[in-house]
A = this chain, B = another copy of it.
Amino acid sequence: MGKNVLLAQSGGPTAVINSSIVGAFDAAVKSQGVDKVFAAVGGIEGVLNEQLVDLTAIPDEKIRRLRCTPSAGLFSCRHVLPADMEDEEYKRIFEVFEAHNIGYFFYNGGNDSMDTAMKLNKYAKLHGYDVRVNGIPKTIDNDLFGTDHCPGFGSAAKCIATTLQECAHDTFSYPNSKTVIIMETMGRNAGWLAGSASCARYNGKQIADLIYLPEAVFDLDRFLGDINDRLSQQTMVYAVVSEGVRGADGKPYFSSSKNTQDKFGHHQLGGLAAALAEEVKKNIIKRVKTVNLDIAQRCASHIMSKVDHDEAYLAGARSVEFALEGISGVMAAFERKSNDPYTVDVVPLDLTLAANTEKTIPTDWINKEGNNINEKFTEYVTPLIQGEVAIPYSNGLPDYAVIDEPVIEKKLKPYS
C-alpha cells in the first residue's frame, strides 16, 4: 500500500485554484504509488490542527463541481511558518504527516505559500522524513517569479476586460455626456491585472485611454493632466488604475488604512478609484463614475478563461507527477514556447527561486509616458484569456461545491 497524498490551499482566492486541486487529485488517484488523497481544511493551519477530509471518499460528481468552484474549496489561511527551523510548528506538522501516512504534500498558493512549501521541504530533508513537498502556483496578481504566468491571472484578467467592455457599452450609450470613468483593479505591487484591461475593445478600439501601473511612478497632477488632455479630445475618458500605484518615494499612493500592514508586511489596498474620482470632481468635471470589482474580480468562475482553467489543472497534475518521479521542493512553472499557436511547457522550478520574489511588468512593455501599456503586453496577455468554460448551474445560479466532509478521525492530541 502506497503513502497518502495531502493537498492544501492558502492565500487569496482565485477562480481556478480548485481546478489545480482537482488536477492534483486526478493525477494522484491515477498513479499506482498513492493510496488515498486527503485535504487539509484551512491550509497549513488545518494541518497543525489535524483537520483533514478524505477527498477519495467524495462522489466524483462533487469533485467535478469543485473544479469549477471559485475560491479555496479546501479553505484557506494566512499563516507564516517560523524562520527558526527548530520551531515546534514544524515538529507538529510532520507528526500529523506521520500519523496519516502522508508521503506527499502539495501546497497551492501564492508567494507566501511557496515560502511555506520551501520550508517544509527543507525540514523534511534536514530531518530525513520521506515526504515530498511541492508547490502549485496560484495568484490573480501574476507576480510569482520564475513562471511565465500564474493560474488565476487569466481568469481575473478576463473578468476585468469583460466588465470593462460591458461598462463601456453602458457609458458610451449616452454619447453626449462628458464622463470620466475610473476602474480600479487588484494586483498589489504588480500591474498585470490593470494592464489586462487593455484587452477590452469597443468597436475594435482599446477602451482604456489611460492605465496606471505600480511599475511607473504615479503623480496626481500628471494624472489630472492626462484626464484633462483626453477630455479635450473626446467625450468619455476611461482610466484604469492598479490599487498598488506608487509615488516617486516608492510608497503606495493610496491605502484605505495607511497604518495597517497584514501579517506578511503587505499594505491593505483598495479605494483608490473612489479617492481619485473625488480629485477629478474637484478639479475637472462632476460626472465621474467608478468601477471597482473588488473581491468579485478574483472569484468570478462564471467567466473563467478556459486556458487558465486547463492550465491550473495541469499545474496541479504536473506537481504531483514531479513528486511521483522523485522531484521535491519545486513549483510547477510555465514556460511559454510560442504565441502562435500558443503553447506552454510545465517545468519544475526550485522553490527557493519561486518564493518571496515578486515579478513585475518589464519596463519596455509600458509606454514612455508611463500611462499605458504597449503591444508587447497585449501579446503576452491575450492567449491567457481565451476560451470559456461551461460551468454547472442549478436553479439559475452556478452550482458550486463546498468540501467539508468526510472528516478524517484525529489521531493526535489537539495542538495549541
For A290, give its contact among B75, B175, B294 (CB under 8 Å): B294
Q: Which 9 A-B pairs have the closest CB atoms?
A: A385-B396, A71-B169, A72-B173, A166-B299, A170-B299, A386-B396, A203-B402, A71-B170, A76-B173
Report how many residues on chain A are interfacial, defined by Cβ distance under 8 Å: 62
Q: Does A346 contact B (CB under 8 A)?
A: no
Are the CB atoms of B302 and A303 closer together than 8 Å? yes
Contact bitstring A389-411, B, C-beta under 8 A = 1, else 0: 00001011110101010000000
Are the CB atoms of B397 and A163 closer together than 8 Å? no
Interface residues of A in 198-239 (CB under 8 A from B): 199-203
Are the CB atoms of A71 and B173 closer together than 8 Å? yes
Q: Does A319 contact B (CB under 8 A)?
A: no
Q: What are 27 A-B contacts with C-beta separation under 8 Å?
A: A42-B176, A45-B176, A70-B166, A71-B166, A71-B173, A77-B176, A78-B174, A163-B296, A166-B300, A166-B302, A167-B295, A167-B296, A167-B299, A170-B298, A199-B395, A199-B396, A199-B397, A200-B397, A201-B397, A202-B402, A290-B294, A291-B296, A305-B396, A385-B396, A386-B396, A387-B396, A388-B393
Complex-state Cα separation, A175 to B72, whole angstroms? 11
Are the CB atoms of A42 and B175 closer together than 8 Å? yes
Q: Does A161 contact B (CB under 8 A)?
A: yes
Complex-state Cα separation, A175 to B73, whole angstroms? 12
A255 surroundings in chain B (CB, below 8 A): none
Residue in B closest to A388 when the chains form the complex, CB atoms: B393
Complex-state Cα separation, A172 to B134, whole angstroms? 26
For A70, give its contact among B76, B170, B289, B386 (CB under 8 Å): B170
Query: Known contacts A166-B398, A385-B397: does B295 contact A291 (CB below 8 Å)?
Result: yes
A76 surroundings in chain B (CB, below 8 A): 173-174
Residues in chain A within 8 A of chain B (CB atoms):
9, 13, 42, 45, 69-73, 75-78, 158, 161-163, 165-167, 169-176, 199-203, 274, 289-296, 298-303, 305, 382, 385-388, 393, 395-398, 400, 402, 404
Are the CB atoms of A158 and B385 closer together than 8 Å? no
A388 surroundings in chain B (CB, below 8 A): 393
A396 surroundings in chain B (CB, below 8 A): 158, 161, 199, 305, 382, 385-387
Query: Known contacts A166-B71, A199-B396: does B42 contact A295 (CB below 8 Å)?
Result: no
A260 to chain B, nearest CB (A): 8
A293 surroundings in chain B (CB, below 8 A): 293, 296
For A173, give its contact among B75, B161, B172, B290 (CB under 8 Å): B75
A375 to chain B, nearest CB (A): 14
Question: Which of A166, A174, A200, A289 has the largest count of B CB atoms less than 10 A from its CB?
Answer: A166
Are the CB atoms of B400 and A169 closer together than 8 Å? yes
Are the CB atoms of A169 and B386 closer together than 8 Å? no
A62 to chain B, nearest CB (A): 12
Are the CB atoms of A295 and B302 closer together than 8 Å? no
Are the CB atoms of A165 and B77 closer together than 8 Å? no
Residue in B closest to A400 when the chains form the complex, CB atoms: B169
A161 surroundings in chain B (CB, below 8 A): 396-397
A219 to chain B, nearest CB (A): 26
Complex-state Cα separation, A407 to B75, whole angstroms? 56
Given A9-B173, A72-B173, A162-B397, 9 more A-B residue pairs with CB atoms under 8 Å apart are A45-B176, A75-B173, A165-B400, A289-B294, A291-B295, A293-B293, A302-B302, A386-B395, A387-B396
